[in-house]
């Protein structure tokens, strides 16, 4: 017969010659490992209790098995071993444990089961990924706290569940101490390590090897977050790494009107935008000539994107205008926090979603390092793998719609930020009427929090940014 597992089809051969007297399951049925699927006898008309085997009594004695195949020593030995295996596991103590969603910060006290990675009756090891849970802002990986067989999935994909309710039941087999030591010993000596592609790339850039990454979220598995925590010089104490939800495009067919529920991440964006309505803002727009910028980009575009070049230009100018990347604290009638590093959040538009991955310490890193980091962030964003650490910590924002041929636009100030710079497309302008000299330029608009930043501050920053891009852009390589 042919047996289908979750990975491949397998051909199962008869362990001996004989007559198939009982077939327990029909084609297309499911069976657990260890189930009796049929009975073979040496004689076609040999007496046997067919009802007993059709009823699924697997606790038959060794003498009953011998009657079915008395002359075959080899098959008898195999059946004896199978009976011993079944009896051993039937007599083992089996405990059932409930699986709960780990603690997450969620205003609604509910979470959505995004995707199950295991099915009922599947075996799962401790610390294996079990499911994805979606909260207000992102998707969280949930690992199995036990090793065992999943007995029941209590919540289906797409359904919401209270944070204090169980989502699955797992059966745990209690093993004897000496058997447990025999099983665990090979794993202790196992030197195999799985390095995720994003982690491998980051390790390559920083000339690291797997032995350097000692603090790992999961044994024998190195993730991007593990390497990032090592580079930042602090231990990653997070028990659950949160990821942004990979956008699911809702296809709308032409015809009758259709109402579609917003995803959790869309609702989170909506709520954050509403919070900014109470902040008084003003805007300053400059036409910045980009001839030198475009010449530089043509030379380096194979390795450095336009976004990274602009980020480095902005950070160089921000160092002379600390108020522009400061943070307003709405306590005790107002305070201003002057930040140490320049961390720039960049708007990344995806289908049905808007993310802001952050380039951190832009003022302290060389442009090639920033280019590699930005490539990784963009790739993680497209695949829904941006962590909360990747999208927090920004003290200045940039939104670039120039690639969509947008002339000029006003950006909404994000929550807890002081300024956001919106960038339009390159346009042509006449620089000198007598010589009809044509200059390329970008319309850049700075939106500011008017509670602590005033028009003169914004205008001075935009004026210096214009001079830097037009005349001193090569300084980004220093």
Judged by average pLDDT, the poorest of 41-45, 155-159, 453-457 is 41-45
Q: What is the pLDDT of residue 473?
A: 95
Q: Which of the two residues, 46 and 468, has the higher pLDDT score?
A: 468
Q: Per residue in 45-69, pLDDT tens?
A: 666 655 555 554 444 433 333 334 4
Question: Which bin fits 384, alpha (ψ -120 to 50), beta or left (φ > 0)?
Answer: left
User: Where do we find the tokens 């009953």?
Assistant: 64
The verdict on domain 264-477 having CATH code 3.40.50.1100 is no
pTM: 0.54
Mean pLDDT along residues 390-406: 93
Judged by average pLDDT, the poorest of 77-91, 166-180, 341-355, 398-412 is 77-91
One CATH from 2.60.120.1440, 2.40.50.100, 3.10.105.10, 2.30.29.30 for 94-174: 2.40.50.100
Q: How confident is the model at residue 143 (pLDDT cuts 50, 70, 90)?
A: confident
Mean pLDDT along residues 271-276: 84
Angle, CA 319 vertex, CA 318 and CA 325 arms, to 5°: 50
Contact 411, 445 (CB under 8 A): yes
Q: Per residue in 145-187, pLDDT tens?
A: 888 899 899 988 888 888 778 889 998 865 444 444 444 444 4
CA 149 – CA 172 distance, rounded (Å): 7
Mean pLDDT along residues 409-426: 94
Mean pLDDT along residues 32-48: 69
Q: Per residue in 63-75, pLDDT tens?
A: 333 334 444 444 4
- Sequence-distant (6+) residues with CB within 8 A of 433 are none
Q: What secondary structure does DSSP assign to 65-112, as a single string?
A: HHHHSTT-HHHHHHHHHHHHHHHHHHHSEEEEEEEEPPP---TTSEEE
Domain definitions of the chain by residue range: 2-91, 94-174, 191-240, 264-477
> Is pLDDT at 188 greater than 60 in this prediction?
no
The verdict on domain 191-240 having CATH code 3.40.50.10860 is no
Share the mean pLDDT of the chain.
78
CA 361 – CA 200 distance, rounded (Å): 22
Question: Secondary structure of the chain: what % helix, strand, coil (to 5)?
Answer: 30, 25, 45
Q: Per residue in 282-323, pLDDT tens?
A: 999 999 999 999 999 999 999 999 999 999 999 999 999 999
């Amino acid at each position: 017969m042919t047996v289908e597992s979750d990975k491949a089809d397998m051909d199962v051969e008869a362990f001996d010659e004989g007559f198939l007297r009982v077939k327990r399951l029909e084609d297309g049925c499911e069976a657990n490992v260890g189930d009796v699927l049929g009975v073979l006898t040496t004689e076609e008309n040999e007496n046997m209790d067919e009802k007993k085997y059709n009823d699924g009594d697997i606790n038959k004695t060794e003498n009953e098995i011998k009657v079915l195949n008395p002359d075959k020593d080899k098959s008898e030995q195999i059946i004896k071993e199978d009976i011993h295996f079944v009896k051993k596991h039937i007599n083992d103590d089996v405990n059932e444990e409930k699986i709960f969603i780990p603690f997450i910060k969620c205003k609604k006290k509910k979470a959505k089961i995004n995707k199950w990675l295991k099915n009922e009756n599947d075996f799962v090891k401790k610390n294996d990924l079990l499911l994805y849970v979606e909260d207000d802002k992102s998707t969280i990986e949930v690992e199995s706290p036990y090793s065992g067989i999943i007995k029941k999935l209590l919540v289906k994909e797409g359904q919401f569940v209270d944070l204090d309710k169980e989502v699955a039941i797992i059966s745990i087999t209690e093993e004897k101490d000496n058997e447990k030591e025999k099983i665990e010993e090979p794993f202790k000596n196992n030197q195999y390590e799985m390095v995720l592609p994003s982690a491998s790339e980051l390790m390559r850039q920083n000339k690291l090897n797997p032995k350097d990454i000692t603090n790992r979220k999961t044994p024998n598995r190195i993730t991007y977050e593990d390497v990032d925590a090592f580079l930042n010089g602090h231990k990653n104490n997070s028990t659950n790494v949160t990821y942004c939800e990979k956008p699911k495009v809702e296809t709308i067919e032409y015809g009758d009107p259709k109402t579609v529920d917003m995803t959790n991440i869309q609702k989170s964006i909506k709520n954050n935008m509403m919070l900014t309505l109470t902040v008084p803002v003003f805007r300053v727009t400059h036409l910045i000539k980009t001839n030198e910028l475009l010449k530089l980009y043509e030379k380096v575009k194979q390795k450095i994107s336009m976004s990274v070049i602009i980020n480095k230009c902005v950070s160089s100018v921000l160092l002379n205008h600390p108020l522009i990347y400061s943070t307003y604290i709405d306590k005790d009638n107002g305070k201003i926090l002057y930040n140490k590093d320049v961390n720039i959040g960049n708007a990344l538009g995806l289908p049905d979603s808007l993310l802001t991955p952050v380039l951190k310490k832009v003022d302290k890193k060389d442009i090639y390092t920033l280019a590699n980091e930005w490539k990784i962030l963009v790739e993680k964003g497209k695949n829904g793998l941006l962590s909360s650490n990747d999208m927090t910590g920004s003290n200045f924002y940039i939104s670039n719609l120039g690639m969509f041929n947008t002339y000029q636009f006003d950006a909404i100030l994000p929550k807890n930020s002081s300024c956001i710079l919106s960038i339009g497309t390159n346009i042509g302008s006449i620089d000198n009427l007598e010589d009809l000299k044509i200059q390329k330029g970008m319309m850049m608009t700075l939106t500011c929090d008017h509670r602590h930043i005033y028009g003169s501050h914004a205008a001075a920053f935009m004026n210096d940014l214009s001079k830097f891009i037009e005349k001193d852009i090569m300084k980004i390589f220093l």
